[in-house]
Amino acid sequence: MENLIIIGSGPAGYTAAFYAARANLKPLMITGGSEEGGQLMLTSEVENFPGFPEGILGQDLMKKLREQAKRFGTRLIDEKADKFNVKGKTFDVYVGKKKYQARAVIIATGASAMFLGLESEKKYLGHGVSTCAVCDAFFYKEKEVLVIGGGDSACEEALALSKFARNITIVHRRNKLKASKIMQDRVFKNKRIKIVWDSDLIEVLGDGTKVTGAKLRNNKTNKVIEKKCNGIFMAIGHKPNTGIFNGIIKLDEKGYVITDRNMATNVKGVWAAGDVQDSRYKQAVTAAGTGCQAALEAEKYLESNSP
């Protein structure tokens, strides 16, 4: 019987891990296997995480956090959790046919950015294709960028980019935005933002190392055009990785875990941290903060419910 199992990694999971390990809880972390490290494994340089004035590559930051968690005694299983059950006051977490039991659980499985599924999109991910304007807008000063999508996320990305990029083009597959009225008004008033209606991104163009443009197809006329750009921001939504918790842990209408201000879920002894419960900010630093909160709460819970 484990004291604490942390499901998932990334800034939230690793922060929870080293806080819990320093509290002598001997946490067991199931990292997610190929998804270990979360969204930062897909980005290039991170300049907005405290303590790195020169910036740091996303993969390097995750490596440092992983090493920090291991330094204090966190045990890591580099696989993905397949099943989760509540069994009285304890919890079962399955990895394949192997069952792990715990007195407390922190969910840190994150949320995955949604993509179109293009090979070229995958090829240039982190090399001109991005999912976070707040993270990467600075690198596009006075450059041309595209934003794919038409909801609030796309509008927010475009507005964030407008502080740096020279021209931003929103590419939307319909003839009107899905975003809220206030977001639409802000976009329409911004002189740096233009919109290409009724169009789909069908190919990311590049020189092998970076994005140089995009192929867009009008879905009404089937006409294909090539548009030059330096970056493409995917803003078609995020999907929280909560499948194994459905029907057990309370989720909102978008699938995010519902927590209180202390990161507690509706199930006593289970907390959630990071993007899996945060549909608003989705930042490494906020994820780390909630990981800290969850670990401190788990420590108090285990102390007061010792066997």
Domains, the chain, with CATH or none: 2-112+238-304 (3.50.50.60), 115-234 (3.50.50.60)
Question: What are the distances in angstroms from CA 105 to CA 8, 46, 267, 281?
Answer: 11, 29, 10, 23
Q: Measured between alpha carbons, how far is 174 from 154 in angstroms, rounded to an integer?
A: 13
Q: Measured between alpha carbons, how far is 214 from 231 in angstroms, rounded to an integer?
A: 9
Tell me whether residue 152 is one of the annotated catalytic residues: no
Smallest Cα–Cα separation from 80: which of 35, 38, 16, 18?
Answer: 35
> Which residues, including other chains, have CB under 8 Å from residue 135's CB and lie 6 or more apart?
43, 46, 48, 283
Tell me whether residue 229 is one of the annotated catalytic residues: no
The rounded average pLDDT for each run of 10 residues, N- to C-terminus, in the chain (307 residues) is 96 97 97 84 80 91 96 96 96 96 97 92 93 88 97 90 96 94 95 97 96 97 97 92 96 96 98 95 93 98 89
Tell me whether residue 200 is one of the annotated catalytic residues: no
Q: Which of 78, 132, 155, 292 is catalytic?
A: 132
Q: What is the pLDDT of residue 48?
A: 86
Find the Cα–Cα–Cα–Cα dihedral 273, 275, 280, 281, rounded to 10°.
90
Q: Which of 92, 136, 252, 292 is catalytic?
A: 136
Supply the pTM of this predicted model: 0.81
User: What would the two tokens of residue 266 be?
Assistant: 């509706």
Smallest Cα–Cα separation from 230: which of 147, 167, 143?
Answer: 143
User: Hey, what amino acid is at 148?
Assistant: I
Q: Which of 135, 155, 229, 292 is catalytic?
A: 135
Q: Measured between alpha carbons, how far is 11 from 107 in angstroms, rounded to an integer?
A: 12
Residues in the chain: 307
